[in-house]
Structure 1
Amino acid sequence: MKGKSIVNNWLLILAGLLILVLAGIPSLVQANSGQESSELANTSYGEPEKLIAPLTGTVSIFDGAVGKEDGHNVMYTTAKGIPAKLNVIDLDNYKLLRTIALEDAESTWAHEVTVDGDLYVATIGGGAKLWKYSPETKDAEVVATFPGQTFPYSITSDPEGNVYVGTYPSGNVYKFNPKNEEVTNYGKMINESSKQYIRSIAYIDGNIYAGTAKDKIIKYNIASGEKTNIAASLDETGTVYDMDKVDNRYLFIRYNDTNNGYIYDTQTQEWLDVIVPNVRGLHVEEESYNGSVYYMTPDDKFMSINLSTLEITDTGMRYGSGLRGADWVELSDPDLPGKSLVTINWSGSVTIFNIETNQVIERPSLVEGAPAIMNKVKNGPDGNIYISGTQATEGAIFNPIDNSTVSFKLGQGDSIHSVGNKMLFGVYPGARIFEYDTNNEPADNNPKQLFQIGEDQDRISDIISADGKTFVGSIPDYGKLGGALTLYDATEQTTPIVYRNIVENQSVVSLAYKDGIVYGSTTINGGLGIDPVAEEAKIFKWDVENEQKIEEISLSIEGINNPQTIGDLSFGKNGLLWGAVDNIIFALDPDTLDVVKSKKIYPDGALHYADWQTVDLEWSNDILYAKFDNNLTAIDPETLVSYKITDAKSFTIGDDGNIYYSLPSNRTLLYKVEVTSAGLIQEILDRYHSSEDIMQPVYAELTNKLEQAEHHLNKGDKSQAIKHLNDLLKHLNKESMSKFISDKAKNILNTKVENLIKTLSPEDESPVNSIPLTNPDFEEPLTDESIPGWTSAFQEAEEHYHEISGERSFSGDSSLKIVDSVRSASVALYSDTIDVEPGVEYMASTRAFTEEGSASFLLRFYDNDGNQVANYANHFESMLGQWEEVTTQGIAPENAVYLRIYAYTTSYQIGTVYFDDINLWTNQE
């Protein structure tokens, strides 16, 4: 299939566009201007190609809870993924009973088994939701949602079976009543900034206890609404990360900054006279055992504290993790008498602490996981693609030549940078820099921690290297303002020098370097949980030798007022400093920081950014690639003509010039867009010649053949261009030349030249006759609330309906949206009748965006009495999470008189699907 080729002759494009689409060539990327550069105009972008789910090495679990099911003790736990998967493990027989996909959810930190035996799970992803799992029906369903909330971090319940959920970003507490399914919002527990966590929660005797990220523990009396901070006397700072009720009387809590534990007696309303040192998260058990509470320490010790004597004892048992849920269970195993404390670890292994025998038994993971979610992708010096995960313990190395992956140990890498033969990863939390040596295999010390920034920094936003030095931009910890620029001398491996508040109260999000000067851009945002005080982001210059800021400016571009974030920054070949802000690309004179050129790429209000999110920039073959929000866009740096290529969450350009990226809708999968042009092939030749992967005899001949091909292309003679490209391939693959070229360079060049030949070659297709349709792109205004050219086949309701939507469109401004959330109904739109000729094959296509679920695209033939005589259907499910072509075709029966085209969700399908640009054609001359 040919790629999306960008050409100068717009009249030719407009005349042939329909024929090209119907012949199977992907539609042309729409330009924002009629003027084009030669390089961008001659570049072809292929259709998105699904490659692999690279992060599959581990199961990621944050929490678990023990319950009863059919008389057996069971462990409930949820593996992070898209979708998240609830696992039910029989602890008595130690086997996996079932796995249930929690659709549209990604993960959870909170499970709660109520007095009724039901399990509640508060999930993250697709908005904050509360799920209920019944041990009787074995089904899970969403029973409550919390509008405006993204993270329901904490959950607890009361003796009546009511469930309480603490959320972010509003810092609210909600109550769900399972009897009437009502949700009560008790509102914010504190109101100190616009973003607040309720990170832990407990219920005792009519009071909710909410652990915040602002030092406080709020006692909320449900009857009176009175709020009291019971932690005022503790003199602690940071997040109350963990809090569990014990014996329905005590609160056992832990502060994340100090790992100090405290015990509060809710009856006497006093803190017990003890500080429990070195407590490890995330939980303790809700019932004491012989008057003692058991907990973990960071050095793997299983400890206990007696609630009466406050004596702390080392049990002698060891466990290399925290307690992710902890419950007492009486197991049927005679070797484990009495009660055992059961927990689950990050990778799904169940661990049993038997108090009577002092045994620690770890049982292998039975959890069915899902591919982990990618965070960043970046091309490496070895031609491999390096991938970090979100809330992960592993990264991955993807080899584009053979599509293989290798895993390595890594936390959440928020930034990745290539320097020499090393890859640097900025890992959260703790603003740590890890170094991976690409010349060696992954190992316990590869990657290794190179340094930690400190100075209240928590997230690495950008890394660059120059002149033997590494420069790091960072964002501070929760509740703090003031990011930093950090300098690390890689040649001397000295202690990094941290320059905080380069721009007062702002974070550094992007860096570039030239001639001893670091250029940086900022965001007014600090860590989560604190509101900004600065009004606008800035651009600054930092003199490395003299260790001082020499300039700081506000960005002066029409249409940009008080930007929250500016970035990325990147130098182009013309020496200009390029950057982006919101929906605008711009270039600065690096000496004066004056704006040389700028352009609005997307309409105002069309893009939405997270607090520290910048517009990622990367260069390839004199084309600037920019990711505005999730819109990966190619920009000509001379004319600023731009084209959207695809939706992307993170992207990089490989050694082969192709785009490798993750999708916003499913970040577990790596995709590729093949990029093809003569100029790109020359760039690859030049690069491999510089690295000595291609020696002079081969380089000179290949360059000559490519120049001749380009010469004929410029004259419009494609056949002669193809001849010279075929000559190039013959020379490239001569046995006598193999000693002058590496296998990697030969493989990439073979693929690139073959793709260019395919792009230039005429399609060997039968003639295509397009059949006109009424309103095939759903752009015509409604007539009496009906869609011109289309009719609804069924009665619709709130849970199953269609509409014309401006939320998504493949072309134009609108599309047909079908929403069907019940299996007992159908939604179908069918076209006006189209006359047919018996015995002729008819083909139909649509562009479909499957947001979730599945749908159908149909051709139905009818006789003269309106009876259906043939049905040709394409039932499709969630695919790329972006616009894709869906086709169906069929031969008109002998008694067929007309056909209709259907966009449809059948009674067995549910989903949210958009349809656009419907076409009908036949090859009949």
Structure 2
Amino acid sequence: MKRKILMLVIIFPLFLSLGQPGVFAEGDNQASLEPEDLEFIEDQESPETIVNEDEVEIIEEVNENISLVGPQVYQTSALTAAAGSDEDGNPYMYFVMHGTPSALAIVDLNTNELIHTYTLSHSTSAWGLDVDEDGTVWVGGTTDGHVYSYNPNTDVFLDHGNMLTLPKDTAIQDLDAVNGMVFGSTAYGGSVFLYDSFAEELENFGQVLYKKEFAKSLAYDEETNALFVGVGSKADLVKFDLNTKKKTAFLPNEYKDDKYVRDIKFIDNQIFARMEPSNRLVVFDKETLEMTDEIELNSRTVSLISPTEDAIYYSKENSLYKYDLLTKEHTNLYIPLLKGTELLNLEFVELNDPNYPGYTLVGLIDNAGNVLKYNLETGYYEITLMELPPQPVTLYTMIHDEKRENIFVNGYMSGGLAIYNPKTNQSILHQNISQIESMTIMGDKLYIGAYPNARVLELDLTKPWGLMNPREIMRLGEFGQSRSTAITAVPKLDKVFVGTYPETSVGGGALAIYDLKENKQEIYENYIYNQSLVSFLHHKEFIYGGTSIHANYQVNERGARFFRFRPDWPEEKEYIHLPIEASMITSIIADKNGTIWAMADGTLVSYHPETKEIKTKQILELISGRFRNAKIIEGIDGNIYGTVEGRLFKADPKTLDVEILVKEGANDIAQDSEGNLYYRNEADLWKYTFPVEEEEKK
């Protein structure tokens, strides 16, 4: 089906930590950073990578050739927050800072001063956060599923270790701490567990509901010894009786089209469950499990019952609201939040401040660290930007420019774009840009496929970063597309071609074409039936493309497709049939001789457009992921270089002989003008320098 539809620059030396808050491009609230943003990297079973040792040469003495360049992207990005007090009544707010690794930042709410920062080793983010009755804050991390605690009474921070025992689990989604008993829910096994912090014992109760990968939220009911768990995708709500092990799913059908139940709270004798993404708060009787009410809201959660009245608080349309539990009346308090923000948490504290007598509602309103304080007695309020510590973030997407003078590298999830100059060993960091899925250069313009909403941006490299640079030229979220995973440009036509990964559309990814002269777009939905478009290359009279069999959390039974079409006639596509079966074709390039090269899973493929000859060389038998696991480039020496499943390799284009140069930790690839290779590993950029004897051979 076809539809026609007529930022700040900082220069810094390496390893210098920057403090500018990072935000999404205009129109995308950074508060939309959510745990599901992790799924495309972590929602994968990572099979053991197997190398055919008889055919692939492994270079063992490699450490002498690699050197650490260091972190490139720093962001101040608070994923979530919670408030609590010590035994003396001193109030604190606890922030989980996104980074590699993440950090727990502790702010004194009386002074707004940062008093502690603790590294959350083994975690690149954390979503489970709860404060126990004694004031201890508990944190559940991702990547290795560690649980951490900080006790403000003793000033002790502890790492309690990995709580994930099921093979599919990679991240803790939520925590509920009750008197030292810590309940947790997970992805992607969708399980729940109990950690007894006194006995230091762990019990996993298994998957909550069959085929539900996300146990997104949970709350423990001490009176009945039952867990209430929100699962997805698609959404359901489950009561899990820990005495009888009986599970009762009770979410009404009209809510099961939602993705998750993202937050659960007990208020009086009722259950308040926040639906995602429909912005509905559904209320149930805790005993009968019958639905009693529904509230529309925008905040991530609601407060517990007010300590001064029978009311709860939430935010909607950038304003604070109060809901009277007795009269069912909603009152707009006309407390304006920052543009494009909503409350991420709401809690009550007592401050030692004459402006805030009695109880004060506090809440984080965005990832930059802005905090609302609203006094229940006087109505006095303030929004304060907390000085939170920036963290190095995992690097995500990387390319070099046409002359190989600069390397563009993006930060995962919280975004940021660094431009690294290998000759000066310095970077320019642009923080105000979100996660990037793909990049291509045409002349002096960098075209960017940005997440979320499958946006496409144009960055003029000759102009300062500012309000309209980069500028948004397309947004494909309305077509059910979430990620712009393939991008290329055709200078002759002055058009940009984009392929997408769908999230909520019925079919596969879309082909989007933007005419830079006419300023209009064309959209071809479900371009390759029920598959995602994950790699593009413009070469001569064709655009070559590759797909992934993963789309809409479904797996297409037919293998990934390798295809091409003429840029001026995209309706007609030609399939190039490979002699191998693959789940995704993740990178396509053309060498100086006009041969097309691609990575199909763990196999290097060459295709000669004139003779139609196809050659393949398997580097790995097994791969993981949905659309990002390999990338190739042609080196300035004529060899093909690439990374796949953490291995950096070199391939002779004539013989297809392959050498593994780096055995692990090498992702993505770029090259400078002197022939040095660069790859990313977590937050760090690494450099591979060829041995002197190889340089002499060139």
Q: Is the alpha carbon distance of 1:404 and 1:571 closer, same or farther for their aligned partners in structure 2, counting shifts above 3 Å?
A: closer
Change (3 A) 1:494 1:592: farther
In the TM superposition, residue 359 of structure 1 has moved relative to its aligned partner by 2.9
In structure 2, the residue matched to 1:238 is 258
Q: Is the 8 A contact 2:400 2:407 kept in 1?
A: yes
Residue in 2 aligned with 1:225? Answer: 245
Q: How far apart in 2 are the matches of 1:450 and 1:46?
A: 45
Q: Which residue of 1 aligns with 2:520?
A: 494
CA contact (8 A) 1:242 1:281 kept: no
1:362 matches 2:377: no
1:408 is displaced (CA, Å) by 3.8
In 2 relative to 1, CA 287–273 (structure 1 residues): closer, same or farther, beyond 3 Å?
closer
Q: 1:254 aligns with which of 234, 250, 274?
A: 274
Determine which structure has greater relative contact order: mean sequence separation of CA pairs < 8 Å that are 6+ residues apart, divided by chain length: 2
- TM-superposition CA deviations, 1:679-702 (whole Å, max 9, x none): xxxxxxxxxxxxxxxxxxxxxxxx
Q: Does the C-alpha gap of structure 1 residues 248 and 221 become closer, same or farther in structure 2, counting only changes over 3 Å?
A: farther
What residue identity is the alignment partner of 2:534? V
Equivalent residue, structure 2, for 1:54 = 72
Residue among 524, 540, 544 paired with 1:519: 544
Pair 34,101 (structure 1): closer, same or farther in 2 beyond 3 Å: closer
- Write the distance in 2 (CA, Å) between the matches of 1:190 and 1:540: 40
Q: Which structure is higher in strand share?
A: 2
- Matched position secondary structure for 2:555: coil
Structure 1 pair 652/472, CA: closer, same or farther in 2 (3 Å)?
Answer: same
1:563-712 residue pairs with structure 2 within 5 A? 563-590=582-609, 594-595=613-614, 597-602=615-620, 604=621, 608-621=623-636, 622-646=638-662, 647-663=665-681, 667-674=682-689
Gaps of 5+ in 2: 1-52
SS in 2 for 1:423: strand
List aligned pairs for 1:366-445, cutoff 5 A. 366-380=387-401, 383-402=405-424, 403-445=426-468
Question: In the alignment, what sits opposite 1:453?
Answer: 476
Per the alignment, do residues 271 and 85 of structure 1 end up closer, same or farther by CA in structure 2, a change over 3 Å counting?
A: same
Relative to its length, the structure with more helix (as a share) is 1
AA matched with 2:469: N
Distance 2:207 2:500 in 1: 30
**Which amino acid letter does the alignment assign opposite residue 189 of structure 1?**
V
Identity level (%)? 24
Shift of the alpha carbon at 1:333?
Answer: 0.7
In angstroms, what is the RMSD of aligned CA positions?
3.0
Alpha-carbon separation, structure 1, partners of 2:466 and 2:691: 37
What residue is the counterpart of 1:207 in the other structure? 226
Larger Rg computed on CA atoms = 1
Distance 1:174 1:496 in 2: 49
Q: Distance in 2 between matches of 1:592 and 1:281?
A: 59
Shift of 1:600: 2.7
Q: What CA distance in whole angstroms lies between the structure 2 residues aligned with 1:676 and 1:249?
A: 70
Q: Does 2:367 match 1:346?
A: yes
- Matched AA of 1:376: T
Number of matched pairs? 623
Q: 290, 296, 300: which one pairs with 2:315? A: 296
The answer to whether 1:105 aligns with 2:126 is: no
Q: Distance in 1 between matches of 2:253 and 2:163?
A: 36
* Preserved CA contact (<8 Å) 2:481 2:504: no
Q: Is the 8 A contact 1:342 1:351 kept in 2?
A: yes
1:509 aligns with 2:534: yes
What is the CA-CA distance between 1:549 and the residue it aligns to? 4.2
Look up the SS of the partner of 1:186 in the other structure.
strand
Output the CA distance in 1 between the equivalents of 2:651 and 2:555: 32
Alpha-carbon deviations, 1:105-126, whole Å to 9, x = none? 222012111224322110012x
Shift of 1:331: 0.7
Instruction: Give the direction of change, closer, same or farther, for the CA distance of 1:301–1:591 in structure 2 (3 Å limit).
Output: farther
Q: Is the 8 A contact 2:226 2:240 kept in 1?
A: yes
Instruction: For residues 380-419 of structure 1, give each alpha carbon's deviation from its aligned partner in whole angstroms, at most 9, with x where no partner exists.
Output: 3684322211111432222334313232411111212212
SS in 1 for 2:420: strand
8 Å CA contact retained: 1:254, 1:281: no
* AA at the equivalent of 1:641: D
Distance (Å, rounded) in 2 between the aligned partners of 1:592 and 1:225? 65
Equivalent in the alignment of 2:13: none
Q: CA deviation at 1:374?
A: 1.4
Amino acid at match of 2:468: N
Shift of 1:233: 4.2
- Provide the rounded CA distance (Å) in 1 between the counterparts of 2:518 and 2:568: 16
Residue 329 of structure 1 is matched in structure 2 by 349
Give 1:499 shift.
3.1
* 1:280 maps to amino acid: N
Deviation at 1:213, TM superposition (A): 2.7
SS for the counterpart of 1:185 is strand
- TM-score normalised according to structure 2 size: 0.82
The residue identity in structure 1 corresponding to 2:434 is: G
- In structure 1, distance between residues paired with 2:274 and 2:66: 47
Give the equivalent residue in structure 2 for 1:476: 502
Instruction: Give the counterpart letter for 1:442 in structure 2.
Output: W
1: CA distance between counterparts of 2:322 and 2:421?
49
1:884 maps to which residue?
none
Contact 1:349 1:366 in 2 (8 A): no
Relative to structure 1, the CA distance from residue 436 to residue 316 in structure 2 (aligned partners, 3 Å threshold; closer, same or farther) is same
For 2:326, the equivalent position in structure 1 comes to 308
Deviation at 1:33, TM superposition (A): 7.8
Q: 1:64 aligns with which of 74, 78, 81?
A: 81
Q: Provide the rounded CA distance (Å) in 2 between the counterparts of 1:638 and 1:609.
A: 28
SS at match of 2:586: coil
